[in-house]
């Protein structure tokens, strides 16, 4: 009898197991509650998979881009172009554009917190508001500036990391969704925000990375001269140049975007050193710009053939860049080596807003290297493209023309204004638009002129 009674304590063991289970369950609610509560099948927030009740999304000037009214999601009503221009940054209501604010920040928009769950949303039909750093007017201008070309244009304050403009094309008007959205080839890639989910052959803007590696690994690079005859014999093939540049130095090689010189530099550096520099600047890594996951920038210089290595160093071959990542590299060059993450969020209505959103470093560069590159990029504009292309901006930058088999070249521009009063960096990619000094450079200038007029 006594023994039997003692054994009753086995229930305590059972209770202990049970309480461990309760503990795990509670921990799961704390860790995953926000994900779970904002799942697309949650009927409090979504209806048939589309957001109906969520917080207001506004731009930096307080213009409302999307809000909930009477169980419906309403978008800015100024124009169809405006809705297209903000589509990818705000996101569609179904969350198909996964990096859109609607999807990525759905937990914040729902107003979810562990204490109240989504009670506020349930009561008022709206969750917490989000203010973006984006200027929707700049977005509209950028959208127009890209003209008929697809691609992306992003502008960021390199001193603070604020993302002021972010456009991706093609886009559609959420109020009049085209019936052939999923079938018409003209809408290929419409659900991707190309600024964060895009991968592009960089073309000559990759020479910035090669130059960075040369500055750090070849001590006498500034006193070197290169002979350009229009093509460079690597030993196992040749790299063709965009012109015949004759005898040029390092700076002039970047000005002229000389393939011969940069192929030669790449081969001298070797695949390992080039790769080391690229990696240190964030290539081949899964990066996040704050909460936004970026598609990986890829750089795999060939170790087998010198020709392939040469092409990799000038941005062709199998190299890909992510536009936002490249914008952060621009930020680093412009900002003395510290490249902040482009951040779309101004405030999210949470406790952290009291201290403000802290800038986060995405790309780190040796300050001396950054300073040298800055001077070279400035020289590009002064000595090659011409300051008249960027009135009042004191622009630094590099164009790129990415050749893609069977298609017209991609026009690429990456740069920044070196004015203290206008600390803005820009990356623009216009698909099948031809020379980098064409559409991409012109569109970049158009948008920066808007900021020059309204922000300086």
Partner 1 sequence: MTKSKENKKQPEFRQITVMVLISIFQLICAAFVISREKEASENLIFIFFGYIAFEWLYMMFNVIITGKDYFELEAIAFFLSGIGLTVCATFSEAYAIKQLVAIGLGLIAYLAITLLIRDVRVAGMLRYPAAIGSLILLAVNIALAKVTNGALNWLDFGVFSIQPSELVKVAFVLVGAASLDKLLSNTSLTKYILFSLGCVGFLFLMRDFGTALIFFFTFILIAYMRSGDIKTIAIICVGAFIGAALIIAFKPYVANRFAAYRHIWENMDTIGYQQTRTLIYSSSGGLFGLGIGEGKLRNVFAASTDLVFGVICEEMGIATGIAVLIAFAFIGIFAVRAAKGSASSFYAIAAVAAAGMLIFQLSLNVFGITDLLPLTGVTLPFISRGGSSMICSWGLLAYIRAAGAPFRLPAPDVEIARRRRGGGAA
Can you list the positions of beta strands (E) in 124-257? Answer: 130-132, 151-157, 163-169, 225-228, 231-233, 238-240, 246-249
Nearest to partner 1 of 118, 275 (CB atom): 118
Q: Are strands 130-132 and 57-58 parallel, antiparallel or unpaired?
A: parallel
Shortest CB 67 distance to partner 1, Å? 21
Q: At what angle do helices 207-217 and 259-280 cross, to 10 degrees?
A: 80
Query: Considering beta carbons, is residue 43 or 185 the nearer one to partner 1?
Result: 43
Find the shortest distance in angstroms from Cβ 109 to partner 1: 14
Q: Closer to partner 1 at the Cβ: 8 or 177? A: 8
Distance CA 131, CA 344 (A): 9
Tokens 């895009």 belong to residue: 198
Binding residues for partner 1, rule: CB under 8 A, are 1, 3-5, 7-12, 14-15, 17-19, 21-22, 24-26, 28-29, 32-34, 36-37, 39, 41-44, 112-119, 122
- Shortest distance (Å) from residue 118 CB to partner 1: 5
Of 104, 132, 122, the closest CA to residue 44 belongs to 122
Residue nearer to partner 1 on the CB measure, 42 or 98: 42
Closer residue to partner 1, CB minimum distance, 65 or 121: 121
CB nearer to partner 1: pick between 47 and 366 = 47
Question: By C-beta, is 49 or 352 nearer to partner 1?
Answer: 49
* Phi/psi at 335 (5° precision): -110, 35
Question: Would you say 139 and 85 are in contact if contact means Cβ atoms under 8 Å apart?
Answer: yes
Q: 432 — alpha (psi -120 to 50), left (phi > 0) or beta?
A: left
Tell the smallest beta-carbon distance from residue 124 to partner 1 (Å). 13
CB of 13 to partner 1, least distance (A): 10
Can you point out the beta strands (E) in 322-387? 338-340, 345-347, 361-364
Shortest Cβ 20–partner 1 spacing (Å): 10
> Distance from first CA to last CA of the chain, Å, rounded?
89
| Percent of the chain that is helix, strand, coil (3-state, to 5) | 40, 20, 40
Output the smallest distance, CB 110 to partner 1, in A: 9
């Amino acid at each position: 009898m006594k023994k039997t009674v003692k054994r009753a304590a086995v229930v305590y063991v059972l209770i202990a197991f049970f309480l461990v289970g309760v503990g795990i369950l509670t921990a799961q609610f704390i860790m995953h509650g926000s994900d779970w509560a904002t799942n697309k099948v949650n009927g409090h927030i979504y209806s048939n998979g589309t957001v109906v009740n969520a917080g207001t999304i506004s731009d930096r000037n307080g213009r409302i881009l999307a809000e909930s009214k009477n169980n419906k999601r309403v978008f800015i009503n100024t124009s169809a172009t405006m809705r297209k221009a903000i589509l990818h940054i705000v996101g569609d209501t179904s969350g198909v554009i996964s990096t859109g604010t609607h999807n990525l920040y759905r937990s914040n928009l729902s107003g979810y917190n562990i204490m109240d769950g989504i009670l506020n949303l349930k009561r008022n039909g709206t969750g917490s508001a989000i203010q973006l750093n984006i200027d929707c007017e700049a977005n509209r201008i950028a959208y127009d500036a890209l003209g008929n070309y697809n691609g992306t244009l992003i502008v960021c304050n390199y001193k603070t990391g604020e993302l002021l403009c972010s456009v991706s094309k093609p886009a559609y008007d959420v109020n009049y969704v085209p019936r052939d959205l999923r079938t018409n080839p003209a809408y290929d890639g419409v659900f991707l925000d190309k600024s964060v989910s895009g991968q592009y052959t960089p073309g000559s803007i990759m020479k910035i990375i090669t130059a960075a590696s040369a500055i750090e690994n070849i001590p006498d690079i500034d006193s070197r001269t290169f002979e350009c005859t229009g093509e460079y014999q690597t030993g196992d093939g040749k790299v063709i140049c965009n012109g015949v540049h004759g005898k040029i130095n390092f700076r002039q090689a970047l000005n002229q975007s000389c393939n011969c010189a940069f192929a030669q530099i790449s081969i001298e550096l070797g695949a390992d050193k080039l790769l080391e520099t690229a990696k240190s600047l964030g290539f081949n890594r899964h990066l996040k710009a704050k909460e936004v996951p970026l598609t990986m920038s890829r750089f795999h210089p060939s170790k087998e053939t010198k020709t392939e290595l040469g092409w990799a160093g000038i941005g062709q071959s199998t190299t890909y860049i992510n536009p936002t990542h490249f914008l952060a590299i621009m930020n680093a060059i412009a900002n003395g080596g510290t490249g902040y993450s482009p951040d779309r969020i101004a405030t999210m209505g949470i406790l952290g807003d009291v201290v403000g959103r802290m800038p986060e470093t995405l790309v780190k560069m040796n300050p001396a290297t950054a300073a040298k590159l800055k001077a070279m990029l400035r020289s590009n504009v002064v000595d090659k493209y011409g300051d008249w292309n960027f009135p009042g901006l004191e622009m630094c930058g590099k164009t790129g023309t990415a050749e893609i088999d069977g298609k017209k070249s991609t026009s690429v521009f990456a740069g920044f204004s070196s004015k203290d009063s206008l600390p803005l960096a820009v990356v623009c990619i216009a698909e099948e638009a031809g020379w980098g000094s064409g559409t991409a450079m012109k569109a970049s200038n158009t948008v920066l002129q808007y900021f020059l007029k309204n922000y300086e």
